[in-house]
């Protein structure tokens, strides 16, 4: 079967760096998404990793290790507006469905 | 502007009433999805449709129904059979041939009193 695991909650300080981990088990793998979701709003796309390695996009970076079933989202120079839920999602099959993690709620404190 | 519209943002209904949530898109995307999200939870798939006049059950379809008569529209009906309908409902779309990125509407928060 398919399974995704993320920490439920994290806290960090404004200006710091935080790493949000996502581990998964799946028989098929096409890629892994990270989405950001502010409370009461829609998820928005952050990144998509297909190959192993780190992809950097401004203050946000995403890493993937396919052999280890592991990804992380790295947020640098944290700002208060980064307080949100971060969802990890697997693109695992040919049926055009995503498998969603439960999300990590990040609180950024001053 | 291209986008996904869900209306209304907030919806209140009495217990025992059916209610239909709208989802309209002008992105020309083929696939559309309905998710339910409860506080502190991830997204759970209710129904999805990959093409007009066809749809499939997701993980929690019981108590819900959908139709896909037009490419642009994918309404979700929450029936009285749904035991715990109060939740945040999100509609999403996906473009054919894409790498499966999903685009989301703003969501409807349904409260059943």
Taking only the tens place, the pLDDT of each residue in B42-86 is: 899 999 999 999 999 999 999 999 999 999 999 999 998 888 999
Residues of B whose CB is below 8 A from A86: none
Contact A31 B99 (CB under 8 A): yes
Cβ–Cβ contact B112 with A under 8 A: no
Cβ–Cβ contact A8 with B under 8 A: yes
Per-residue pLDDT reduced to its tens digit, A92-109: 876 788 999 999 999 999
A96, closest residue in chain B (CA to CA): B100
CA dist B76 and B65 (Å) reads: 6
Predicted local confidence at residue B1, as pLDDT? 59
CA B45 to each of CA A83, A100, B59, B61, B90: distance values in angstroms, whole numbers, following the listed order: 25, 9, 6, 8, 10
Residues in A 27-56 with any Cβ partner in B closer than 8 A: 30-31, 33, 40-45, 48, 50
């Amino acid at each position: 079967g398919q399974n995704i695991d993320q920490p439920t909650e994290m806290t960090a300080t404004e200006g710091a760096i935080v790493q949000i981990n996502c581990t998964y088990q799946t028989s098929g793998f096409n890629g892994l998404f990270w989405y950001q979701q502010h409370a009461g709003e829609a998820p928005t796309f952050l990144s998509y990793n297909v190959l192993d390695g780190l992809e950097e996009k401004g203050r946000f970076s995403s890493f993937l290790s396919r052999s280890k079933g592991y990804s992380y989202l790295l947020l640098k120079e944290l700002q208060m507006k980064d307080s949100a839920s971060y969802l990890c999602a697997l693109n695992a099959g040919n049926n055009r469905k995503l498998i969603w993690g439960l999300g990590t709620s990040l609180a950024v404190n001053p | 502007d291209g986008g996904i519209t869900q209306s209304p943002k907030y919806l209140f209904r009495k217990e025992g009433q059916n209610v239909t949530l709208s989802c309209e898109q002008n992105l020309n995307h083929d696939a559309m999805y309905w998710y339910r999200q409860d506080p502190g939870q991830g997204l759970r798939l209710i129904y999805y449709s990959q093409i007009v006049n066809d749809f499939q059950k997701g993980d929690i379809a019981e108590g819900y129904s959908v139709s896909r008569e037009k490419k642009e529209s994918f309404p979700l009906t929450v029936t009285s059979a749904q035991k715990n309908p109060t939740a945040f409902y999100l509609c999403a779309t996906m473009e054919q041939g894409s790498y499966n990125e999903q685009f989301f509407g703003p969501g409807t928060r349904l409260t059943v009193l």
